[in-house]
Amino acid sequence: MNAVTDIKADHKSIAQALAAAQMKMGKALKSANNPHFKSKYADLASVVDACMPALNEAGIAVIQPTTDDDSGRYVETILIHGESGETLKCRVPLIVGKNDMQGYGSAVTYARRYGLMSMSGIAPEDDDGNAAAKAAPTEQAKLRLLTPDQFIKLRDKIEVAEVDEAKVLERFGAPSLQQFPAIKFEAAMKGLDATIAAKAPQENADLEGDNIPEHEDA
């Protein structure tokens, strides 16, 4: 009895077969260049090399037809277990950048790549999530940090409230005013306004009764 037959006999369901296959899968190596982002990515061939041998050895076939229905166009990734006939499916939308065959082909390749990675459970070496996490601060700095006007308003408000800037940063989880999250700007301003208002009654009280300073003639 050969190795493939042994695997099929041991895994009667697609879940068992997929679990066995995943134990033998490698990482999808980033071997292709992306000139737009000046980075490497795991192309379809790398993803196929990483997962297909293990899937096939476990008796799982993979097909990726394109589909078209009322909700749009997709690439459907289907895992078929030969022993049980069970299937697992997922769809990745086809988002075509250019309305020509080259654009359509690129979209299909992209959808196949992500559909196969999702269904097999593999991730690229130094996966896209890690790469995005490393790149995120630069992009978020443009979109989510304070504008120059907000920065000045918050700085001035801290001075008027006579609050320790470090405490404000700690309260809102910001490393500095320059890196203060814009989404928390309004809450910080309201909090500082409340602090200023709380101090006002005491200051007004100092002006009442005997505490009112006498007018001195020049």
Spatial separation of the C-alpha atoms in residues 116 and 89, rounded to whole Å: 10
Same domain, 117 and 178: no
Q: Would 215 be classed as within a structural domain?
A: no
Which residues in the chain come in under a pLDDT of 70? Answer: 1-10, 27-41, 124-144, 201-218
Predicted pLDDT at 86: 94
Predicted pLDDT at 27: 61
Here the contacts of 82-88 (C-beta below 8 Å, separation 24 or greater) are: 82/8, 83/8, 83/11, 83/12, 83/17, 83/59, 84/12, 84/13, 84/14, 86/13, 86/14, 87/14, 88/14, 88/18, 88/119
Q: Would 139 be classed as within a structural domain?
A: no
Predicted pLDDT at 59: 94
pTM of the model: 0.50
* Residue indicated by tokens 């379809």: 44
Predicted pLDDT at 148: 77
Predicted pLDDT at 176: 81
Spatial separation of the C-alpha atoms in residues 216 and 85, rounded to whole Å: 100
- C-alpha pair distances (Å), 141 with each of 75, 137, 166, 195: 35, 6, 20, 29
Predicted pLDDT at 186: 92
Q: What residues are paired with 75 via a beta bridge?
A: 66, 92
Same domain, 17 and 89: yes
Among 133, 153, 181, the domain boundary falls at: 133
Q: pLDDT tens for residues 178-214?
A: 778 888 899 999 999 999 888 876 555 555 555 444 4
- C-alpha pair distances (Å), 134 with each of 41, 129, 140, 145, 172: 15, 9, 11, 17, 22
Predicted pLDDT at 75: 94
Predicted pLDDT at 76: 94
Among 106, 133, 160, the domain boundary falls at: 133
Give the residue numbers spanning the domain of 188: 145-208
Predicted pLDDT at 24: 85
Predicted pLDDT at 151: 84
Q: Would 110 be classed as within a structural domain?
A: yes
Spatial separation of the C-alpha atoms in residues 66 and 71, rounded to whole Å: 13
Spatial separation of the C-alpha atoms in residues 122 and 55, rounded to whole Å: 12
Same domain, 129 and 156: no
Closest CA to 8 of 83, 113, 92: 83
Establish how many alpha carbons lie within 13 A of residue 94's alpha carbon, considering only the half-sphere containing its beta carbon: 25
